[in-house]
Chains A and B, each alone.
Chain A
Amino acid sequence: MLALEKLQEKFPEEIIETGESAGQTYVVVKREKIFDILKFLHESGELLFDHLADLTAVDWHKKKTPRFEVVYNLYSIRYKQFLRIKAQVPEEDPIITSVTPIWKVANWFEREVYDMFGIVFDGHPDLRRLLMPEDWEGFPLRKDYPLFLSPEKEWQGLVELKEKARRLAPFDWYQRVPGEVKEEEMKEPEEEKVAEGEGHGASA
């Protein structure tokens, strides 16, 4: 494959391993020069990998060291070539250079990887959580993150929501009168209603 030869010629010291899996070529590289490697693949006239099909990460917890792999699936629309680049990222210092200056599509892909794996992308313009709430603790797609959280560790937003639902459950919404709710229990929802009303009036 032409891209593989070019890479071995240009970055001989960066490549750790090359191989093939299910008919698709992959290259494992060190993380230090990942930006230069991808920029070369994107801009070189004979290769022209212009479509970043996917950017993701894999957690090899207790299977491999270094623990993380950031995976770039590249495709060249003109030459119809497919190539996978995998960069190794250690657990102690999970930082890798962002490729957002090359592909704008990498912006959200990298935000998602940061959200799910906690890998920091150096030079990213706007690295926030994307899918999870902003005050979420932990990185869900890591292998040591449990599938079900124990009740003590539940997200604070959900705890508050459950509490509110429990408080409002006896309230008869159809008749708009409290059913068997004690007066002190009804106080809080009324206060909230007033506060919401004010906010609405100001914005209208």
Chain B
Amino acid sequence: MAQALEIVPKQIDSDQWDEPYYVNMGPQHPATHGVLRIFLELDGETIVRCDPRIGYLHRGVEKLSENLTYSQAMVLTDRLDYIASAANNVGYCLAVEELMGLEVPRRAQIIRVIVCEMARIASHLLWLATHALDIGAMTVFLYCFRDREWLLDIFEEICGARLTVSYPRIGGVRLDFNQHIIDELYRFTEEFPRRIPEYETLIDVNRIWLKRTKGVGVISGEEAVNLGLTGPSLRGSGVRYDLRRSRPYLIYDELDFEVAVEYEGDVYSRYRVRMKEMREANKIIRQCLDKLAECEGEPTVAENAPDLLIPFGKPKRPQPAPHPKKGFLVKSVEVPIVPEGEVYFAIEAPKGELGYYIVSDGSGHPWRVRIRAPSFVHISALPALSEGQMVADIIAVIGSVDIVLGECDR
């Protein structure tokens, strides 16, 4: 930083700018989708070096999880990717269940798929809205938020929360759907395929949109795998890697949907992949609703699921007042529920591969929780995507890899 300020006064007086020009994008910049700071070295308008600096939203979720019980730690996963929090919860619960060897009832699995796909549509809608706004298309924003609002209302009816849902629990889901939610979801799946062409009419053949997105941030398939890109960002480069197909979890192997793939590898093809994915997600919700009618009245929580309520130990004598900083950590009796072992479980979150690596030592709380966040990897790939491009294009590139800083910094 200090270096940048020293160089600038020299450049004002001289006619020729031999020195490189440094620009600090962020941490408070509307187009960085949070608190990302990018240190750019420019030669004219071309980016020579790009150095993303993160950590402004670091809350220590991994360290906190080691000091909470398994059920308590699930609530922290909402705060990772707060745009699609239901998908984070499902991933965490699946990882713990895999470690415990717990079988989840079929109805709960179907409901989980529905909330995951609802989260995917909500996330992609917000992505489209903000990405278009960054590039300069204002109108799409308004249309996208109209439909996202509808989804959030359904989420509110399902569990009472709009953003941080905490709806799944270890062993199933917290509540069953009522008839009104199912009717509303049917209405949504009827209506939503007609809404997608509305966005596409606005930007798909828009000449400015095409100029800003086609041939920008190009990356080949091999390079993208080496950089660790996953999800829609990888499928935009022609690699058919979708965890819902290659390592199926829940009931995805019974469902009929296509993996969206585009082959150009630029910002435009990543946009096309996400538009296709929204249609497929809508199709999946529809199929799941039909399957849900077949298992009406079945339980949504496994019988041997660990108790959600924390069993408090009875204090024998008056306890000293707790440390003011430690007040929020509820002291609970640790019931050993998870056997010793370790598991890496990844799901296809809206942004890419979201992996949980959980190590258990057989006690009531996890020994180590590691969260492999797609946004973290995508930000680390930004230099490779943007170096050699124009400085205006980095906005389009950041938008196209779809990042959320809450998940990146954890």
Residues of chain A whose beta carbon lies under 8 Å from any beta carbon of chain B: 21-24, 26, 50-54, 56, 58-59, 63, 71, 73, 77, 80, 82, 84, 103-105, 107-108, 112, 116, 130-133, 140-141, 147-148, 199, 202-203
Contacting pair A53 B344 (CB below 8 A): yes
A to B CB contacts below 8 Å, 10 in the list: A21-B341, A21-B342, A22-B99, A22-B343, A54-B357, A105-B227, A105-B380, A131-B58, A132-B58, A148-B326
Contacting pair A54 B246 (CB below 8 A): no
Complex CA gap A59/B377 in Å reads 23
Contacting pair B98 A131 (CB below 8 A): no
Chain B, range 304-324, C-beta contacts under 8 Å to A? 323
Closest to A69 in B: B359
Main secondary structure of the interface of B (DSSP, over half): mixed
Chain B residues near A26 (CB-CB < 8 A)? 342
- B128 at interface by CB-CB < 8 Å: no
Residues of chain B whose beta carbon lies under 8 Å from any beta carbon of chain A: 5, 8-9, 12, 54-55, 58, 60, 62-64, 67, 98-99, 101, 225-228, 239, 241, 246-247, 323, 325-326, 341-344, 346, 353, 355, 357, 359, 361, 367-368, 370, 372, 376-377, 379-381, 384, 409-410
Partner of B55, one of A53, A132, A147: A132
Contacting pair A147 B341 (CB below 8 A): no
Chain A residues near B361 (CB-CB < 8 A)? 63
Contacting pair A51 B5 (CB below 8 A): no
Complex CA gap A56/B344 in Å reads 11
Contacting pair A80 B342 (CB below 8 A): no
Contacting pair B341 A22 (CB below 8 A): yes
Q: A53-B372, A105-B380, A131-B409 are in contact. Are A77 and B241 (CB under 8 A)?
A: yes
Complex CA gap A132/B367 in Å reads 22
Chain B residues near A199 (CB-CB < 8 A)? 5
Partner of A104, one of B226, B323, B342: B226
Q: A132-B58, A133-B55, A141-B62 are in contact. Are A51 and B225 (CB under 8 A)?
A: yes
Contacting pair A202 B227 (CB below 8 A): no
Chain A residues near B241 (CB-CB < 8 A)? 51, 77
Most buried by B among A50, A51, A148: A51
Chain B residues near A148 (CB-CB < 8 A)? 323, 325-326
Chain A residues near B239 (CB-CB < 8 A)? 77
* 18 extra interface residue pairs, beta carbon distance < 8 Å, beyond A105-B227, A148-B323: A22-B341, A23-B98, A51-B228, A52-B228, A53-B353, A54-B355, A56-B357, A56-B372, A73-B344, A73-B355, A104-B227, A104-B384, A105-B226, A107-B380, A132-B55, A140-B63, A147-B67, A148-B325
Most buried by A among B239, B241, B323: B241
Contacting pair A202 B226 (CB below 8 A): no
Complex CA gap A103/B326 in Å reads 41
Q: A53-B344, A80-B247 are in contact. Are A202 and B355 (CB under 8 A)?
A: no
Partner of B226, one of A54, A103, A140: A103
Chain A residues near B55 (CB-CB < 8 A)? 130-133
